[in-house]
Structures are given as C-alpha cells and as structure tokens.
Chains A and B, each alone.
Chain A
Amino acid sequence: MSDAKRKYALYLGCTVPVRAQNYELSARLIAKHFGIELVDIPEFTCCGFPIKSVDQRSSLVMAARNLALAEKQGLDMVTLCTACTGTQVEANHELKNDSDKLAEVNKILKKDGLEYKGTVNVHHFARLLYEDVGIDRIKQEVKVDLQNLAVGAHPGCHFTKPSEAFEDFDDPENPHVYDDLINATGARSNPYSERELCCGGAILGIRVDVAYAMVGKKLASIKESGSEAMILICPFCNVMYEQNQKKIEKELEQGFAMPCIYYTQLLGLALGYNPDELGFKINRVKPSKILERIGVTSEKTTT
C-alpha cells in the first residue's frame, strides 16, 4: 500500500508477448499507474510448464533458471500468465524446501554461470495488485462508473492451486481474491455454475474435442448467468475462450459471442484510460456494447 517505488522482474513467458499483447500493454500501464516498476529480463525463457509432462526434472531446471536470473538482479518475479505462475511458484516452493533438489538443479545451472539461492518470491500480477496495492487504493482511484457490469470471473486454475505452494493466500474451494479485485473496479463478479471449470488448455494438443467441450460448457454457463463478459488473467485461458471461440461455436453449433477482457483492461477502463491504450483493438470478440454504454469509445481520450 505504500507509495514507495516497488521494483519487480516482469516474467512474460511464452504466450503473453506473442499472443496476448493487449494483456501485456494494459498490465504495464496499470503497473505504471500504481508506481510499480517492471524490469524486463530478456534472457528469460519458457517456465517449463509443457515440459513437466515429459520430464519433471528438466521442467524444474527451466523454472529455476528464470528464478536465478531474477535473483541475480535482486528482484522478485511478477508473472502475467496463470500457468507460468503455477509452474514458477511450485518450482520455487520445491527448491526452497528441498536442499538436495536445489543442489542438483544448481549443478546444471552452474554451466550457464547461474546459481539459485532461493531468495526470490513469485507473484501473479493480480495477486500483487491485491496484496501490494490493495482493494482500498484501487477503489479510491476508480474514475469511470462501470455501472455494475455483470462479468464472469475466471482467474485460471493455477492462480491459487496447488494451495500448498501458494501458501493458502486464497481458499481454493471458495476463492474471493479475484472477485474482490473485479468488484473494486465497479463491475460485479457474477456467480455462475461452472466457475471452477478448467479451460482445458493443457490438453488442447492431445484431444481438441475434449478441450473444446470444456470451453463450451464454461462459456454457456457464463452466458446463462447473464454476464456480459468474461474476465481473465491468463493468456492461455484466453487462447481457449477468446481466440478459439469462433471455431468452438462452429464445432459445437452454439453461439456465445462472449467478450473476453483481461482484468488489467477492465481496471484500466475504470481508472479512466482509453480503450486504445489498453489494447482493446487486439480483442477479438469486441466488447463494443459495454464500451459504448460506459461511454469510452476508441475515439475519445479520457485521460
């Protein structure tokens, strides 16, 4: 909550910088707004999530390498992708609690001139907003009335789970952190029956039909609940819900037309930023109706 300048290493992962530039753009803007300095480390590589299925050891070393790079600069790590968050948090938890594993990993990192000592903390950007900026401060800064806009919250499974590695910062069975963040903007996190359903992203390359069915079930549930948009903080969940939405509508012969908005975009609107500054041009399912109603079209500059 302090206004003191906070500095973090920004971990983008694979999907954000290539397939979710609206998320990256809006997150950088929100960070700036709240005085959070994000440092880019170009040497960061994949977190190891996809490799875990093939060889857990390689995955752990990959995550450790990123942690070591952040540690070298004396910075904690901020993540945007929920899957990266899970992988980096879990690896960090494992390495901090198992000195044998840490030694084994460091043997490999040493060849790269790196060593991980176990001093880094990993935070999802949304968690950072909750814990470091705080709900009260967010509420104070809201300028645009989002008119109680009903939205479906989807943080992604790895935002809170496995809860043990996340040190129970939120209750995985009855979470509230993400809803509190959404409600602080003036929008309303609207409950829906498939709230806990996973996006299926991890099995997209294995069984596309199963993954699509999972997406369809969730989108139908959000629509049924009367929400006008889905709010995301994971770029791969977005690949599933937004970037594949047209294909899935065709495949399942079901219409959703569900705008998928990143939390950082939603918060940005509430703070009075222009949709263009928040990368709304990149959103595929246009939330035009919502933008019009709250009176922030691309033409107008509100800041």
Chain B
Amino acid sequence: MNENQDAEAVEEVTKAQEPKVIKFDELDPNFKYEIQAEPSGEFITRCYACGTCTASCPVRSIEETFNPRRIIHMALLGMKKEVLSSEFVWLCSTCYACFERCPQDVRITEMMNALKNLAVKNGYIHPAFTAQIDLIQGHGRLYEADSFVNKKRAKIRLPELTESPDPIKAIFKATGLYEYSTEAKESKELPQSGNTEGGSNE
C-alpha cells in the first residue's frame, strides 16, 4: 500500500465521519441564551442529561431522530443551524410525559415550543404550520364552517356554526404572525416593509 492510497483511505474515512464531527468554530455559544430569551426556553440550562425525557418519549420509541436529550445537548453546545433547520424539532407530539418526569424541571414540552418559535423566526417554518395559520386566519378555526357542515349540523339539530376570522387576523397582525401567512406573503409589495420579526433567513 503506497502513501497515496493511504492518504486516500484516510480521506474517505474522514468524509464518512464528517457529519458527526462537531466543529467548534461553527458553534454558536449564544444559542442557549437565545433559547432562554424565548418564552418557556428559560430552563434549558438546568438539563444534566439524565435521559429521562428520551426514555419517556413515545415519539422517540418509533423515530430515533427525535431524541429530546440529544436535542437539548445539541442546543446547549450551540449547534444552532443543525437544530433550527432540522425536521426533528417539529416532531414533539406534546404529550407532556417528559415534562412531568424531568427531575430538573426543564419543562421540555414547552421548551420545544421555544425551539420551534425560534426556528420560525430564523426562516425555517414547517409548511404544515403555514397552512394552519392560513386556515385559522381565514375561518377563525382550523376547519371551515361551510354550508355542507351546517346542513349536517341542522339535520341532527345542532346549532349553526358561524365564523369569526376578523379578530384572529387582528391578533396575528398585532403579534406579527400575520407576516407568515400566505396572504401577507402574496400581498407584500415592498420586500422591506413592515415588521417581519426576523422572518427571513439570517
């Protein structure tokens, strides 16, 4: 085996391992403080990595990319982009099993909301949620109260269902969430207008 082949082999091994290498110069040491500044994110630094959350998690038992202990550890290390751009950040089913059992009261279920909220602010909103924003903003509820629904309701003598979308749109406008709706995206004439609250990618 000559030297060249050796070097090639080494390079191959390194490449295969590359995704697992943590590069310190790419870590963001302030990420944990960003999380702590979000509502429900403040207790993340209490974690001592016991793994009770992961052992309790019903999603983890099926899908191993969703591992609460690992997500918290990645966040504390400062792997901001890896966490916020991941699919796994959206996989909490909000069952509160970990929340109830965490010995350090990290309040993980709520902390996951802080991570998802940050993902949104950094331009990584999951398309399923854009759809839900649009529906709720359009109907006041997730489902339309159309004539078909009301006919069905009338048949079994349930009261008519009405929609109140306007107050919801007003709330979304006040909180800035409106900017993430399809309506806002389609109607924006000036790309820099208004408060997008970090809606674009950094």
- Decide if A and B are genuine partners: yes
Docked Cα-Cα span, A55 to B113, in Å, equals: 8
> Is B149 a contact partner of A207 (Cβ separation < 8 A)?
no
Residues of A within 8 A of B140 (CB): 45-46
The yes or no answer to B74 lying at the interface (CB within 8 A) is: no
Minimum CB–CB distance for B53 against chain A, Å: 14
Give the distance to chain B from A213, nearest Cβ to Cβ, in Å: 5
B92 close to A (CB within 8 Å): yes
Contact string against B for A residues 182-207, beta-carbon threshold 8 Å, 1 for contact and 0 otherwise: 00000000000000111111110111
- A197: which B residues are within 8 A, CB to CB? 58
**Neighbour of B62 across the interface among A43, A65, A213, CB < 8 A:** A213
A53 at the A/B interface (Cβ < 8 Å)?
A: yes
User: Given the complex, which residues of B lie within 8 Å of A172, measured CB to CB?
Assistant: 96, 100
Query: For residue A50, which residues in chain B have a CB less than 8 angstroms away from its CB?
Result: 129, 132, 136, 142
B194 interface residue per 8 A CB criterion? no
Is A103 located at the chain interface by the 8 A CB criterion?
A: no
* Nearest CB in chain A: distance from B165 CB, A: 8
How far, in angstroms, from A50 to B170 measured CA to CA in the complex? 17
- Once A111-B170, A173-B100 are accepted as A-B contacts, the answer to whether A207 and B91 lie under 8 Å apart by CB is yes
> Among A12-20, A71-79, A125-133, A258-266, which stretch is in contact with chain B?
A12-20
How distant is the Cα of A53 from the Cα of B114 in the complex, in angstroms?
Answer: 8
B19 within 8 A of A: no
Interface string of B88-128 (1 = CB under 8 A from A): 00111111110110000000010001101100100001101
Q: B149–A57 contact, CB under 8 A?
A: no
| Most chain A beta carbons < 10 A, residue from B38, B100, B153 | B100
Considering only CB atoms, which chain B residue lies closest to A172 in the complex?
B100
**A50-B132, A162-B96 in contact; A56/B171 too (CB < 8 A)?**
no
Q: In this assembly, does B152 line the interface, its C-beta being within 8 Å of a C-beta of chain A?
A: yes
A64–B2 CA distance with the chains assembled, in angstroms? 72
**Quick check: is B48 within 8 A (CB to CB) of the other chain?**
no
Q: Are B180 and A54 in contact (CB under 8 A)?
A: yes
CA distance A51 to B168 in the complex (A): 11
CA distance A199 to B90 in the complex (A): 16
Q: Can you report 20 A-B residue pairs in the complex whose CB atoms are below 8 A from each other?
A: A14-B141, A17-B153, A18-B144, A21-B156, A45-B165, A45-B168, A51-B177, A54-B117, A54-B120, A56-B38, A65-B167, A86-B94, A111-B174, A161-B96, A200-B58, A203-B59, A206-B128, A207-B87, A210-B91, A279-B156
The 4 closest A-B pairs by CB, nearest first: A198-B95, A205-B128, A161-B96, A14-B142
